[in-house]
Amino acid sequence: MASGPDVPHHPDGGPAPGVGRADAADDDAVGTAVPRLEMRGIGKAFLGTVVLADVDLTCAAGEVHAVVGENGAGKSTLMKVLAGVHPPDAGEIVIDGVPHTFHHPVQAQAAGVAIIYQEFNLLPERTVAENVWVGREPGRFGLVDRARMRADTQRLLDELGERSFGPRTPVRALSVAQQQVVEVVKARSLDARIVVMDEPTAALADDEVDQLLALVRRLRDQGLAVLYISHRLREVFAVADRITVLKDGRRVDTFSAADTTAGRLVKSMVGRELDAYFPDRAAPDELGAVRLAVRGGANAVLDGIDLDVRAGEIVGIAGLQGAGRTELARAVFGADPFTSGTVEIDGRSRRLRSPRAGIGAGLGFLTEDRKAEGLVLGQSVRDNTLLARRSGAARGRRRAGTTDVEALTRSTELRAASLEQEVRFLSGGNQQKVVLAKWLALEPGVLLFDEPTRGIDVGAKAAIHDLMRDLARQGRAIVMISSELPELIGMSDRIVVLHEGRIAGELPAGATEQQVIALAAGHHLDDVDETGDAVPGGGAPGDDAAGGGATGDATGGEPRP
């Protein structure tokens, strides 16, 4: 688990030598040295819609500058301007005192800007060294100098303190976090002086997040300027020296991380205070009939799964990476079916052998991998929302009448110019809200949510939490997977903990993080109760809504006032 916002900054030493430090909230307070990066008065409009207006952003060598803000605030667009993907309409980019005009990513790369995208472009069958040097292999006598390629790669890996793999390791053998390291090595080999990471932890397993944060700190200590975008405020506070808030394409604040709180940051982002509370849980008399029942569910990953979810109930599924959480949802849905055991939906025994069958049986499954969800990027928000509903999959269950797309998208806090806007022009978080609306349009009786708020901004997160509780109140049965423990604990009426494909135990509403973690690690509940006390009073306002700190659990279980 990453450390909370209260963790002191740079426990492993001060800034890189000779580096101006940001010690005031003032945007330009980076000492007397010329900042590594200055973006001044950046403006950008798409088809007449202003997306960035007069944005200033500076970053010193040896500084981590986080950029935060709501979905659609302009964070990714600002970074794409820096990376030469979108030429700005106004403003200038100055790197080490030299003004630049980028019209192409290659120009930005040559000026020392590296952007690490979420989807990597690595070649899985090639080695790490081959991937780092692909297209610009060092030569000797007309031959590729493999020894030098490997040695240079090894040196860069050493610099980053990476020992878990080497230059000869094939990329296919690497985890997502390790592939991120390869991308960083590649950036270093290109002499990058500015590294941009746009939601780098969105695709990482919980235990990989700490590794990524350590990597960011190393880059900072090596004197790079790092721009870091994330919706998880805990991470932001763990690595950033300064934090800039964008709202509706404008810079509204730049804080020194040491001098601000999660609560203040949230207020700056969403323009109001957010309470740290989750919606009321279901009262016992609000629970109805069992809508989903699994008995003895087993397949290659899972074994002995017994699960009941009632109408009105939200059941959280916890477990470490690889414990089988997503596999459980996929098995219920019919994507990777159980090979033995039974699944009953609304009292009817079902043999679901495909997602299509799952939809037909009244299941909805918001997957963790939104890319595979099949948004049709060239179609409108409205058409995408109605896509699944219009398809044959839901035939028979489809009711007559129209779907109120407007109400659906509003309930997810979607920000789009209009319902006719093509989804490819939406920000990442807003695309995810369309996926959610698409599932809701099908009106499934049983909803499986895998990481429902990943990539969603803090304000919209609270709205989606309320929405999930409303769905339960309307009689839906909900299964929820979330790596953010405060969210899982705050939302669930019951938590089923998986360990190595089996149910390790079940915890009632209001369980503590320690209890969940202990069960997930394979300990017995009896041992857990001894030590499973919540830490009282942890977490600043808004912190839980933002993914919370490790100490945020005491408020996590409280109802909203």
Ligand X SMILES: Nc1ncnc2c1ncn2[C@@H]1O[C@H](COP(=O)(O)OP(=O)(O)OP(=O)(O)O)[C@@H](O)[C@H]1O
Nearer to ligand X among residue 246 and residue 323 (C-beta): 246
Nearest-10 Cα torsion for 472, 476, 477, 480: -60
Segment near Mg ion (CB under 5 A), from 76-84, 262-270, 313-321, 357-365? 76-84
427 in contact with ligand X (CB under 6 A):
yes
4 in contact with Mg ion (CB under 5 A):
no
The residue type at 14: G
Residue 56 corresponds to which tokens in the numbers above? 């200033």
SS3 state at 286:
helix
453 in contact with Mg ion (CB under 5 A):
no
Q: Which of the listed partners (Mg ion, ligand X, none) does 548 bind, with a CB threshold of 5 to 8 Å by partner kind?
A: none
Nearer to ligand X among residue 69 and residue 557 (C-beta): 69
Residue nearest to ligand X (CB): 429
Order across the sheet with 49-59: list the strands. Answer: 49-59, 37-46, 90-95, 98-100
Residue 354 corresponds to which tokens in the numbers above? 């495909």
Name the residue among 256, 220, 253 with its Cα closest to residue 237.
Answer: 256
Size of the site for Mg ion (CB under 5 A): 2
Site for Mg ion in 385-444 (CB under 5 A): 428
For 345-407, the three-class secondary structure string (H helix, E strand, C coil) is ECCEEECCCCHHHHHHCCEEEECCCHHHHCCCCCCEHHHHHHHHHHCHHHCCCCCCCCCCHHH
Q: Which of 75, 370, 438, 469 binds ligand X (CB under 6 A)?
A: 75
73 in contact with ligand X (CB under 6 A):
yes
Least distance between ligand X and beta carbon 425 (Å): 4
454 in contact with ligand X (CB under 6 A):
no
Least distance between Mg ion and beta carbon 72 (Å): 8
CB 17 within 8 A of CB 61: no
Nearer to Mg ion among residue 51 and residue 441 (C-beta): 51
Residue nearest to Mg ion (CB): 76
Q: Which of the listed partners (Mg ion, ligand X, none) does 426 bind, with a CB threshold of 5 to 8 Å by partner kind?
A: ligand X
51 in contact with ligand X (CB under 6 A):
yes
360 in contact with Mg ion (CB under 5 A):
no
77 in contact with Mg ion (CB under 5 A):
no
CB 195 within 8 A of CB 112: no
Question: Can you tell me the distance from the alpha carbon of 253 to that of 245, in angstroms, rounded to the nearest whole number?
Answer: 5
CB 335 within 8 A of CB 364: no
Q: Which of 64, 67, 76, 438 binds Mg ion (CB under 5 A)?
A: 76
Name the residue among 222, 181, 187, 194 with its Cα closest to residue 113.
Answer: 194
Q: Which of the listed partners (ligand X, Mg ion, none) does 72 bind, with a CB threshold of 5 to 8 Å by partner kind?
A: ligand X
Q: Which of 39, 60, 77, 113 binds ligand X (CB under 6 A)?
A: 77
The contact set with Mg ion (CB under 5 A) reads 76, 428
The contact set with ligand X (CB under 6 A) reads 46, 51, 69, 71-77, 425-430, 457
